[in-house]
Structure 1
Amino acid sequence: MSKHIPAASLAAYTAGDPALDDTAVWTIEVHLENCGDCRARLAAAAPPALTTLLDDVQVMIDRGVRTGPEPVRRRAWRHFAHRWAMWELVPWLATIAVAVAAAFFLDRTFPQRPSLVLLLAPIAPLAGMAVAWSRRRDPGWEIVAGTARAGLELMLRRTTVILAVVLPPLALAGWRLGMSPALWLLPALTFTAATLLLGGRIGVVRAAAILGGAWFLAVVTPAVITADIPVLIEPASAPGWAVAALAGTVLAVWRAGDYRHANPR
């Protein structure tokens, strides 16, 4: 093409002449991107109706830019909830609460067998924690993970919500069964801290699966089969759980940087 678009070609392009093939249209449009003179000729050749329409659209756009849309008012409780939790946690937390209730009724029905509430307490928060920092479960994970406060701080927020939901049913069940709070609270905190610590290295989902599976296979299954009370849930084990919970919490905070590179899956 010469320095400028020929008048006939420009007129055909303006009128939308079907005789122009794709190559010709592409050549004209590329030239228009870099030639102000031809763009001015194109504007002058436009039909009056089209010019009027474009002017009206420009006025509407300018008016919209100046006024802008009204800001969406968000309720305070929704803002708080989005910072601390996500809706995908609700069914998992409900399932945990139902499991604790079922364990309580089984303990009341079969008091001679090892307490299922105590056996369930250490791993009760783990299912919720696995969902709380999961790429597959959280639809907004990419956005959340890219924020400045993502990592251990976000995980601690969501873990706090999980514990706030899981611990009250355990406390109620333990109180009704006459158990010491240390027997169910300390193991739950220990496994929570261990999941946070290990999750920074291999991912929270894998950490929860490994710790929960190990406890279920090594402690819960033998206790259910043999009806013997495991040493790990007897009153004498409380000091050991306290030390483990404190050590796990300190180490998880110390290794907070692992969550900047942790695999969430």
Structure 2
Amino acid sequence: MTSHPTLLEISRYAEADATLDEASVWSIEVHLETCADCRARLAGSTTDRSRDMIARVGAALGEEIATGPAPAGRPVRTPRRWFVTALLPWVTMTVAVIGAAAVLTRFLPQLPSVVLLLAPLAPLPGVAAAWSRRADPAWELISSTPVTGLTMLLRRTAAVLILVIPALAIAGRSQGLALVLLPCLAFTAATLLLGSAVGVQRAAIGLMAAWTLAVVAPSLVRADLPVLLEPSSAPAWALLTVVLTALTFLRAPSFRRLTTF
């Protein structure tokens, strides 16, 4: 157990006694870092000399503050961070995959439309990265502000969709915009809703894996589009999007929990 310095040693340290050797000074300072009792003793060991020095320093600082220029006022702005630069690689990869799917659809007509098959999944990597503490260098600052939560997530999701939807619309224009865009929006809403319970990243990964195994892989093996992507399914996708979006807004308070990140 580390012994405490004596009251005499603390008093000599407080008075900056020149006869106190460096080893003793170092030992006292190390001990003071971990001992609240000795720090309290040190606070009560101030001398007339130290009190006079503190008063002179305080008076000098007060005079400089009074005679110096007034601090320049700057408006306090709450950081919004609609877009995180770390999303750019994910969005770039998504656009590249959509382009490759369009090429396969064009030059391999025996395959079902790869663009339609991948359209529901297109925005999910970007949405997952948009709500990730690892992707945002300012996450600690953002998460402590009032604008965090569903509002911030929707803004960032909108930024991802603004970049992904035009690529989908161009690649799938011959397939019908409704069948390309409605499943995309429905899966985005499903990711947000499921993310309120298990985390946005986990929700995105789970939905991508489920759709790939249940729809994409079997469709490529059979060389036929599923009923889910037939033109008659467009109204169902639209209704599903509206319902999932409404449920997501009802779950808004959940997006302020750390488990959603």
Give me the TM-score of the superposition, normalised by structure 2.
0.79
1:187 — aligned with what?
Answer: 183
Residue among 18, 21, 37 paired with 2:21: 18
CA distance in 2, matches of 1:207, 1:24: 55
Length, aligned pairs only: 246
2:106 — aligned with what?
Answer: 108
TM-superposed CA distance for 1:105, in Å, is 1.1
1:223 — aligned with what?
Answer: 219
CA distance in 1, matches of 2:75, 2:62: 25
TM-superposed CA distance for 1:262, in Å, is 5.2
Give me the TM-score of the superposition, normalised by structure 1.
0.78
Which residue identity lines up with residue 21 of structure 1 in the other structure?
A: S
Residues 80-229 of structure 1: pairs in structure 2 closer than 5 A = 82-175=80-173, 178-229=174-225
CA distance in 1, matches of 2:63, 2:99: 59
CA distance in 1, matches of 2:63, 2:83: 38
CA distance in 1, matches of 2:94, 2:193: 22
CA distance in 1, matches of 2:188, 2:65: 55
- Contact kept, 8 Å, 2:80 with 2:152, in 1: the verdict is no
TM-superposed CA distance for 1:30, in Å, is 5.6
1:41 — aligned with what?
Answer: 49
CA distance in 1, matches of 2:136, 2:89: 13
- Contact kept, 8 Å, 2:197 with 2:260, in 1: the verdict is no
TM-superposed CA distance for 1:60, in Å, is 11
- Contact kept, 8 Å, 1:10 with 1:42, in 2: the verdict is no
CA distance in 2, matches of 1:134, 1:221: 29
Query: Structure 1 residues 135 and 29, CA, compared in 2 at 3 Å: closer, same or farther?
Result: closer
2:248 — aligned with what?
Answer: 252
Query: Structure 1 residues 19 and 213, CA, compared in 2 at 3 Å: closer, same or farther?
Result: closer
What CA deviation, in whole Å up to 9, does each residue of 1:138-186 have, x standing for no partner?
Answer: 22222212211211111100010010000000111122xx221101110
Query: Structure 1 residues 194 and 35, CA, compared in 2 at 3 Å: closer, same or farther?
Result: same
Query: Structure 1 residues 130 and 16, CA, compared in 2 at 3 Å: closer, same or farther?
Result: farther
What CA deviation, in whole Å up to 9, does each residue of 1:220-249 have, x standing for no partner?
Answer: 111112211211111111111111111111
Question: What fraction of aligned residue pairs are identical, expressed as a percent?
Answer: 40
Task: Kindly report the root-mean-square deviation, in angstroms, between the aligned alpha carbons of the 2 structures.
Answer: 3.6
Which residue identity lines up with residue 90 of structure 2 in the other structure?
A: W
- Contact kept, 8 Å, 1:88 with 1:138, in 2: the verdict is yes
CA distance in 2, matches of 1:200, 1:209: 14
- Contact kept, 8 Å, 1:122 with 1:191, in 2: the verdict is yes
CA distance in 2, matches of 1:204, 1:163: 16
